[in-house]
Structure 1
Amino acid sequence: MGDAQNIIKIAKAEVGYHEGWSDGHWNNHQRYSPAVPGLEWSQNQAWCATFVSWCAMQAGLAGLYPRTASCATGVDWFKQRKRFSAYPAVGSQIFFGSGGGAHTGLVYAYDDDFVYTIEGNTNADGSAEGDGVYLKKRERRSSYVYGYGYPAFAQGIDSADPAWKGKAPSVAKPGSGVVALATGVAPGAHHPQVRDLQRMLIAAGYGPIQGAVTDFYGPKTQAAVNRFHLKNPQCMSKGKSYDPAIGPAGFRALQVQAGRR
């Protein structure tokens, strides 16, 4: 299952969930804020962005979406990475309202006229008071739709943006199974391609990696990468005796050793 479908599956499983009710009103008390490290403070506040952050964390894609309770901060996060578009994409984060600061959700499909989303802190009737997680159908050209943040999925992204057509991850050799190292794969980082790195390290005999397979480039993965470098010093960063950071050339060499061609 690809990254986009993974987070979509997790988000759809939450459809039908409702926040708390007190004194005759929905009260924004929900289960997502306490479950996202760093966003515990957002309990009892608008939680649409927190819901997206929770879904990303559950999918092992926390590094590909902004961890924030603020829609405006989410817009800035994608724009700083030059991954913001006026066109929908599967798995993208959609933003609504002036500057994108009013509301947010996840896109699970789109067509020529509509975008289909999973949104937290919304409702079925379009009123101002959100109460739960719903599937929504939005007009693509509505003035309420501000734009879309594109996560850096390892498999590329299914986008309606003409400028993004063909921007799938690069391949080292045409027709081969050897793929290029993605930007952001580094010690201490979360990235979906870390799973692939861990699998290749284990397959090539540089394991075991306790706790694998995950998207976290933690100390156990770093130690395995160093074991690879000790046997392949030509791939090691110049002058280092301990090198836990895989580089593009090393990643290609590792894949070949693991049996990819």
Structure 2
Amino acid sequence: MAKYRLTAAPKTGITRALLGGAILASALGAPLAANADTATGVAAATAARHPDSATAAHKAGDRSEETKVNVTADQVLSLAKAQIGTSENAAGGGTKYQQWYANSKRAAETIARDGGNRNAYLNAAWCAMFVSWVGEQTGARPQVGWDAYTVAHAKWFRANHRFGDVAKPGAVVFFSWKGSKSLSDIQHVGFVVKDNQNGTISTIEGNTGNGRVEERVRPKSQVVGYGYPEYAA
């Protein structure tokens, strides 16, 4: 059975408790996260206070719509595939994705937005950090965006008019396990490898299964939508 973590991000740090079954939210609106297919990142309490902030969405990256990068979808997917098998430690941390994010400029920005501190990211749910890391390492960050909170990441794509419902290779795919189409219900994120033309997509995701990078096949019914990096041809 998959084990889910409830993640709260107080201003002094982060608390993780193992749960079995459904994901629960705290009364303060703390973020939901899981090592098995559910990751909303660090400190979503701010998002609960500002559920549809276009300003926060724009701050998920440092690009304008006109920014171009000379990186292809194949290059991004190649690096993502090379990460398959990377695993977190018993505490839910220890990955290079979490370590990179905790030390990044973006972490300072999301701490200002959400609270917490840099150390909080070291054992936090890391699916969005994985996507962000791949973008950084390939030079596609202005197109892929970067965040630790999946909802803010999706809102950034939408605010930049690059969010839709068609699966494309290299797209950033956002999931809700209950099939919701609301961005506020997003629980997990990964990269689309291909549309299987049978109601499913193949993906590469971090923080899935038992806290690993894995290639998965997902039903489209669980997809909230897709973010479209403007890759080079």
For Structure 1 versus Structure 2, the TM-score category normalised by the shorter chain is 0.5 to 0.7
CA RMSD of aligned residues (A): 1.7
Matched position secondary structure for 1:32: helix
Q: Does the 8 A contact of 2:98 with 2:124 survive in 1?
A: no
Tell me if structure 1 keeps the 8 A contact 2:71–2:139: no
Structure 1 residue 18: Cα displacement: 0.6
- Kindly name which structure, 1 or 2, has the bigger radius of gyration based on alpha carbons: 1
Match of 1:30 among 79, 95, 98: 95
Aligned 1:1-261 pairs, distance under 5 A: 3-22=72-91, 27-36=92-101, 37=104, 38-39=106-107, 40-41=118-119, 42-97=121-176, 98=180, 99-100=182-183, 101-113=186-198, 114-123=200-209, 130-140=210-220, 142=221, 144-155=222-233
The one-letter code sitting in structure 1 at the alignment partner of 2:133 is W
Cα shift at 1:2: 5.7
**Hey, what's the Cα distance between the residues in 2 that align with 1:85 and 1:106?**
14
The alpha-carbon deviation at position 152 of structure 1 amounts to 1.0
Conserved? CA contact 2:71–2:138, under 8 Å: no
Relative contact order higher in (CA < 8 Å, ≥ 6 apart): 2
1:21 is paired with a residue whose SS is: coil
Q: How far, CA to CA, are the matches of 1:70 and 1:29 in structure 2?
A: 19
Q: What displacement does 1:17 show?
A: 0.7
Q: Deviations over 1:32-69 (max 9, x none)?
A: 12223133552211100000000001111010012100
- Structure 1 equivalent of residue 36 of structure 2: none
Separation (CA, whole Å) in 1 of partners of 2:130 and 2:71: 20
CA contact (8 A) 2:80 2:134 kept: yes
In the alignment, structure 2 segments of 5+ residues that lack a partner are: 1-69, 108-117
Q: Is the CA contact (8 Å cut-off) linking 1:106 and 1:117 kept in structure 2?
A: yes
Which string of whole-angstrom CA distances, capped at 9 and with x for unpartnered residues, describes residues 128-159 of structure 1? xx41100000122x1x211100001122xxxx
For 2:97, the aligned partner's letter is Y
Give, in whole Å, the separation in 2 of the partners of 1:44 and 1:63: 26
The structure in which a higher percent of residues are strand is 2
Number of corresponding residues: 143
Gaps of 5+ in 1: 124-129, 156-261
Would you say the 8 A contact 1:7–1:91 is kept in 2?
Answer: yes
TM-score (norm 1): 0.52
> 2: distance between equivalents of 1:154 and 1:12?
19
Amino acid at match of 1:14: Q
